[in-house]
């Protein structure tokens, strides 16, 4: 696999970024170079761009001739059922897991009812400051970004602005300030204009930038902790919303076996120096949550289970945010 | 002399690495291009992605978490313009879960409205290609 090993946190693509052949941005992220900085990858990628333009043109011509498209369930219809348990070795699942961003889950809750997001939001009068080692700061950064998604749902401009500044401060502590400076400013600006869709995109972008920068610094493990911190706070918020007005549909969102397995694997593979007391605590907490969230697909999640998951997630988030843990 | 040869080898290796990245970039760009029209329909497209290279007729499975209540599109792209690729989505029981899918030259997509929250299997395949191994990339969006 050629992709970064830990894709976990990602951003939403803004419509403008989805324009035709936005290769500079993509190359910059994958190749680890800033657009126009003249480093090696971009030179070669420029060749790729030229080839791809030709490829795109060919595809467009074919499409115009009406030769291109074929429907699904024709001659090449896929099998209606496959045996997941006996996939051939070469088809075994790849290890890369894309962790959902909080808005992917919150959006479903919005469809199910009108959650009182302001009650779920944890406001702070001052911004969140780094504490403890890099591992704790990375976990805190994840929880703060997740809080940003909650603040967007609650449409609280002041909280979003504070969170934007906290993201910058925490990023500085783990050496990736430069990567998120512009995002942080954009978050604050967008919050000023109450442009919630843009705030959501910028928060997602900030996550992506932090992870990209960490990857460049060979700190993939820290970026996994950012992802884990965000997932824990997102899970806690989800249990708060569902717990206050229980519904089977809302509770079902807590069924996340893939993600629990992913985090377990990632923590287990971390270097010894990353296995701090706090990381160990989080790992144990995940083991507690696992049987509650990782049953068979289709099994109902009870109100009691929602409460239990919420208590564990709350305890872990508190530990992450405690001073010098 | 030895230094020159070493630096030449290093340069070639660096270029090969970059070419490889470039092709993944291109596959990603084509996947994004396939996603583009759906943004207007309200789909939020993730910038994160899966990718790699595969020989012809080799399938790869990706396990992914989907949430009931959302609607998803998965878009696949390849940098090999003559390639025929496919993506199909199965639930954890192995039942075909997609409600719609399409294939175009070096692009493919599948739409899923999950009947339940949980694990799904995204099966990607290079059906035809003139290349020994074909780069691919897969992105997704939700609304």
Maximum Cα–Cα distance across chain B:
66
Chain length of chain A: 325
Percentage of chain B exceeding pLDDT 90: 78
pLDDT tens for B18-28 read 455 557 789 99
Output the pLDDT for position B41.
94
Q: Which of A14, A52, A73, A76 to mutate to test the interface with B (most CBs of B within 10 A)?
A: A52
Residue A37: what pLDDT? 29
Tokens of A156: 């609280």
Q: How far apart are CA A56 and CA A61, in angstroms?
A: 9
Contact with chain B for residue A259, Cβ under 8 A:
yes
Tokens standing for A189? Answer: 């600006």
> Which is more confidently placed, B132 or A52?
B132
Which spans in A174-254 are helix H?
Answer: 177-192, 196-216, 220-244, 248-252
- Give the confidence band of B8 by pLDDT, cuts at 50, 70, 90: low
pLDDT of residue A13: 55
pLDDT for res A318:
97
Q: What does the pLDDT read at residue B2?
A: 65
Residue B11 pLDDT grade (very low, low, confident, very high; cuts 50, 70, 90): low
Using CB atoms, which residue from B48, B52, B90 is nearest to A84?
B90
Here the tokens at position B20 are: 């490889």
Residues of chain A predicted below pLDDT 50: 1-11, 14-17, 19-75
User: For residue A198, what pLDDT is reported?
Assistant: 86
Cα–Cα distances in angstroms (integers) from residue A320 to residues A58, A138, A229, A262, A277, in the given order: 53, 10, 8, 20, 11
* Per-residue model confidence (pLDDT) at position B96: 97
Q: What is the pLDDT of residue A153?
A: 94
* More confident site: B128 or A49: B128
pLDDT of residue A200: 84
Query: Which pLDDT band, with edges at 50, 70 and 90, does B3 fall under?
Result: low
User: Going from the N-terminus, what domains does chain B have, and what CATH number goes with each?
Assistant: 2-142 (2.60.120.380)
Question: What's the confidence (pLDDT) of residue A197?
Answer: 83
What does the pLDDT read at residue B33? 96
pLDDT band at B16 (very low <50, low <70, confident <90, very high): low
* Chain pair A-B, CB pairs under 8 angstroms: 248
Per the CB < 8 Å rule, is A103 touching B51? no
Is pLDDT of B91 > 50? yes
User: Is B123 close to A82, i.e. CB distance below 8 A?
Assistant: yes
For residue A125, give how far its alpha carbon lies from the nearest alpha carbon of chain B (Å).
32
Structure confidence at residue A221 (pLDDT): 92
Per-residue pLDDT reduced to its tens digit, A125-172: 788 888 989 999 999 999 999 999 999 999 999 999 999 999 999 999
Neighbours of A91 (CB within 10 A): 18
A93/B contact by beta carbon, under 8 A: yes
CB nearest B49 (choices: A3, A107, A108): A3
Q: Kindly give the interhelix angle for A196-216 and A157-173, rounded to the nearest 10 degrees.
A: 10
The pTM of this model reads: 0.80
**pLDDT at residue A115 in the model:** 93
């Amino acid at each position: 696999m050629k992709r970064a090993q830990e894709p976990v946190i990602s951003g939403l693509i803004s419509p403008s970024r989805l324009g035709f052949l936005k290769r500079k941005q993509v190359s910059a992220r994958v190749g680890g170079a800033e657009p126009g900085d003249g480093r090696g990858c971009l030179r070669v990628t420029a060749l790729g761009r030229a080839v791809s333009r030709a490829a795109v043109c060919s595809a467009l011509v074919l499409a115009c001739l009406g030769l291109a498209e074929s429907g699904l369930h024709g001659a090449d219809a896929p099998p209606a059922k496959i045996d997941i348990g006996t996939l051939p070795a070469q088809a075994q699942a790849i290890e890369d897991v894309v962790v959902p961003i909080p808005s992917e889950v919150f959006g479903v809750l919005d469809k199910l009812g009108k959650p009182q997001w302001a009650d779920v939001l944890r406001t702070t009068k001052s911004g969140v400051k780094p504490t403890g080692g890099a591992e704790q700061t990375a976990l805190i950064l994840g929880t703060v970004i997740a809080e940003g998604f909650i603040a967007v749902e609650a449409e609280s401009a002041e909280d979003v602005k504070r969170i934007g500044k906290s993201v910058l401060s925490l990023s500085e502590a783990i050496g990736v300030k430069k990567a998120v400076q512009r995002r942080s400013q954009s978050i604050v600006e967008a919050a000023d204009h109450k442009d919630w869709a843009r705030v959501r995109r910028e928060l997602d972008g900030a996550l992506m930038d932090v992870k990209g920068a960490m990857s460049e610094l060979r700190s993939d493990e820290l970026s996994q902790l950012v992802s884990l911190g965000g997932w824990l706070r997102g899970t806690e918020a989800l249990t708060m919303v569902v717990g206050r007005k229980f519904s089977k549909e809302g509770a079902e969102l807590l069924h996340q076996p893939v993600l629990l397995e992913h985090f377990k694997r990632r923590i287990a593979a971390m270097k010894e120096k990353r296995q701090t007391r706090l990381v160990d605590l989080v790992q144990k907490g995940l083991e507690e949550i696992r049987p509650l969230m990782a049953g068979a697909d289709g099994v109902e999640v009870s109100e009691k289970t929602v409460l239990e998951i919420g208590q564990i997630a709350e305890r872990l988030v508190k530990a992450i945010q405690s001073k010098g843990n | 002399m030895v230094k020159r040869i070493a630096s030449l080898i290093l340069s070639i290796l660096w270029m090969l690495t970059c070419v490889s990245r470039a092709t993944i970039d291109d596959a990603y760009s084509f996947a994004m291009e396939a996603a583009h029209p759906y943004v207007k329909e309200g789909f939020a497209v993730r910038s994160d992605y899966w990718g790699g290279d595969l020989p012809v007729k080799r399938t790869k499975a990706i396990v992914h978490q989907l949430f009931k209540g959302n609607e998803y599109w998965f878009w696949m792209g390849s940098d090999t313009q003559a390639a025929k690729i496919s993506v199909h989505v199965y639930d954890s029981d192995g039942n075909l879960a997609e409600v719609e899918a399409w294939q175009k030259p070096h692009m493919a997509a599948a739409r899923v409205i999950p009947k339940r929250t949980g694990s799904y299997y995204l099966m990607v395949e290079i059906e035809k290609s003139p290349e020994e191994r074909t780069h691919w990339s897969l992105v997704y969006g939700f609304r």
